[in-house]
Structure 1
Amino acid sequence: MLKSIRNSLPHSFLVRLTIVNVAFITLFTFITGMAIYQTACFLVDGINTVQSTAQQNFKRTLFQYLWMFSFITVVIGSIVHYFATKQLIDPVRQMIHSTQQLRVGKYLKVQKRTSKDEMGQLVSHFNSLTEQLEQNEKHRHKVLSDMAHEFRTPLSNLNGYLTGLKSGVIKGNTDLYQSLLHESQRLTQMVEQLEQLKEWDLLTHQPIMHKEQASVTELIQNGITAFEWSLEESNIEVKTDLQEATLPLHVSGIQQVLSNLLDNAIQYYQGENTILIKGEVRDQYYRVSITSEGQKISESEQEKIFSRFYRTDPSRSRTTGGSGLGLAISKEIVEQHDGRIWLESDGSVHSFYFEIPFY
């Protein structure tokens, strides 16, 4: 019986809520009206000067007016309640529709509410979530497209040369094998960097990152030592101006940032001046800068240079083994330290900065 009644009720939440509230309004109005009617009749009966006929007319008239006003109250209250509830429920309906559209890849925002109540906040957070999901999806497609583009060239080269060697069209020699090894190493490097990016992306969802007190100066000196051979081979001199400081750091992460920035400075070095590395205490931050000479970088490129797979000179980057991931990894690591990283360029002189807080 209860199941049949439940199935016969409308499925719309708004209609069901309105029916329930109308029932309560009607019951409350009926009880209140009867109480007023009985109280008035009792008071009239207590007045001996009022004639019996007049008492009956008064009771009948009062009863009629009570029913009339009760009916008007129920109707007006029900209409007001319906539209007030509808206004409250509409954003929920839109969110349900938007959620359904998410399943087919459409990102619809809910109409914004001017109110700052709980529903207004819910709508605002839902729209922010939808926008973030849309951006993540676009970013995912872009990364996949960039990955396909980056892997296609070295794989095509490897397949072409290997096919030629197999058929005997190309004869193997030291230079060819060195070129094939270079392409293979570049593929390996990209895969390793993608793994690093994935690890740092996972760290963004963890509340705690392991840090330890470490000397920034020592890390910088160790980073320079690691590139001594490359610096000597390229005939590049490095000068340092470092203030000693100890910070809470993810040591391997900061080492990787320094390595990426130094490697970037060496690969794209063009000029005769030295590479200058500075470390200084600035308020609540420790700032590191690496300044070197290189090809000109436009303002639009400066804004994109920390994006994944972005390179200012694709052809040159391929010959030097660049993948466009090093600076993106550095950005992830620095931001995990609640710091920031940026580029300042003055013609052919470029300075990469990053700041790490002392807390």
Structure 2
Amino acid sequence: MYQYACSLVNSLSGVETSDQQFFSETFLEYMLLVFLVLFVSGAFFYSYITKKIMEPIRDLAASTEELTQGRFPEKLDVQQTRDELFILAQNFNRLSLQLKETEDARSKMVSDMAHEFRTPLSNINGYLEGLKKGVIPPDPSIFESLHQESARLTDMVNNLYQLSEWNMQSPVLKKETVPVDELLHNAASLFEWQMADKNMKLHLDIEPCQIQADAGSIRQMVSNLLQNAVEHRKNEDPVYLHGFRKGTVYVVEVQNTGAWIEPETKHRLFERFHREDSSRQRQTGGSGLGLAIVKELAEQHNGGAGIETDGWNHHFWFSFPL
């Protein structure tokens, strides 16, 4: 460009040589200045763009390194540009959060399992040590207590095994047309002796109905809810077992007056090992797994499970689609 401009000036007639030389020098200076400005602007623009792109990538790399070392990094803060980098950062944030929640749940489960197993094992060990030293005389009531603690441990292990199997694969359900009212009556009959021994009354109000479900699952769910009512009874009020149609579902409900439940945290009762009151749970022998199994089985039937409560009066329920 510079040479072309100079040649044009040289080709003009009537232009002095000194003028041509001045033009060439002045034009060269402007050209150099323009190139300098363009170079500096380009360098600044390149630095800005590179920093804008590379800084989030460096942050992502550092956060990934933290994650591989078992630590959970802070949430990545990326401008909402809706480009590929923003989507990548958002996906990483969700992944990190899910991993943290999983790790927290695993840690809590291990801690809760240790607490749940410690009490019956301590009781068994204490009784056996007392019998060994002759401090406690061998008595049928002692053997009954040992048997109850052993049965409690067995139930917890069986429930844990069942839930762990369901984590790896969904439970195999044998769905068939079953008379749900007969299943509920049969499940309730298994508690007649236990409730009579505790001076408890069970009232049934069950609407006949045929549903597609796994019969064994229904019996287990009803048994878990009734066992929960027996373990956490608060007074002499009876327990009610209801079964009724409600729109497109069949609802099974166990109603009782029991130990205090915070209405704000009631949904957590169906989490594994959740306890409203740790000491109460251990005194009553609950493992914190029965309601989790009810919820899992209900969802495997495309139904649901839940609780309605005012704190003392509880309505535990599960439902099946008709």
- Corresponding position: 1:144 with 2:144: no
- Counting only pairs closer than 5 Å after superposition, residues 210-359 of structure 1 correspond to structure 2 as 214-215=176-177, 218=179, 221-235=182-196, 236-246=202-212, 256-269=220-233, 270-273=235-238, 275-282=240-247, 286-295=249-258, 296-300=260-264, 302-312=266-276, 314=278, 317-318=281-282, 320-335=284-299, 339-346=303-310, 348-355=312-319
Kept in 2: contact 1:237–1:275 (CA 8 A):
yes
Q: Does 1:114 align with 2:70?
A: no
Q: TM-score, normalised by structure 1?
A: 0.72
Corresponding residue of 1:12:
none
Q: How do 1:60-71 and structure 2 match up within 5 A?
A: 60-71=25-36
User: Does the 8 A contact of 1:219 with 1:255 survive in 2?
Assistant: no
* Alignment match of 2:59 (pick from 72, 87, 94): 94
Question: Given the two structures, how large is their TM-score scaled by the length of structure 2?
Answer: 0.79
Aligned partners of 2:20, 2:172: CA distance in 1, in Å?
88
Structure 2 letter corresponding to 1:129 = L
Structure 2 unaligned segments of length 5 or more: list them.
Answer: 197-201
The CA deviation string for residues 105-139 of structure 1, in whole angstroms up to 9 with x for no partner, is 34322224233322222222222222233333322
Any idea what the Cα deviations from partners look like across 1:262-295, whole Å, max 9, x if unmatched?
A: 3323444554555232343535xx2523132222
What root-mean-square deviation, in Å, do the aligned CA atoms of Structure 1 and Structure 2 show?
3.5
Whether the 8 Å contact between 1:278 and 1:290 is mirrored in structure 2 is yes
* Alignment partners' CA distance in 1, 2:79 and 2:319: 39
Q: Secondary structure at the match of 2:108?
A: helix
Q: Secondary structure at the match of 1:237?
A: strand
- Count of residue pairs the alignment pairs up: 313
- How big is the shift at 1:96? 2.5
Name the CA shift for 1:341/1:318 in 2 (closer, same or farther; >3 Å).
Answer: same
**Structure 1 residues 262 and 68 mapped into 2: Cα distance closer, same or farther (>3 Å)?**
same
Q: Tell me how far apart the structure 1 counterparts of residues 39 and 214 of structure 2 sit (CA, whole Å).
A: 68
SS at match of 1:183: helix
Residue 122 of structure 1 aligns to a residue whose secondary structure is helix
Per the TM alignment, residue 186 of structure 1 is displaced from its structure 2 partner at its CA by: 0.8
| Gapped regions of structure 1 (runs ≥ 5) | 1-35
Deviations 1:190-238 (A, max 9, x none): 11212222223334xxxx88667544x6356325413413135425232
Check the 8 A contact 1:262/1:290 in 2, yes or no: no
**CA shift at 1:310, angstroms?**
2.8
In structure 2, the CA distance between the partners of 1:50 and 1:350, relative to structure 1 (3 Å rule), is farther
Q: 2: CA distance between counterparts of 1:67 and 1:252?
A: 89
Alignment-mate amino acid for residue 262 of structure 1: L
Alignment partners' CA distance in 2, 1:58 and 1:214: 100
Amino acid at match of 1:229: L
Give the conservation status (yes or no) of the 8 Å contact 1:223–1:259. Answer: no
In structure 1, the partner of 2:199 is: none
1:144-175 Cα shifts (integer Å, max 9, x gaps): 22111111111111112222223333332322
User: Is 1:128 aligned to residue 91 of structure 2?
Assistant: no
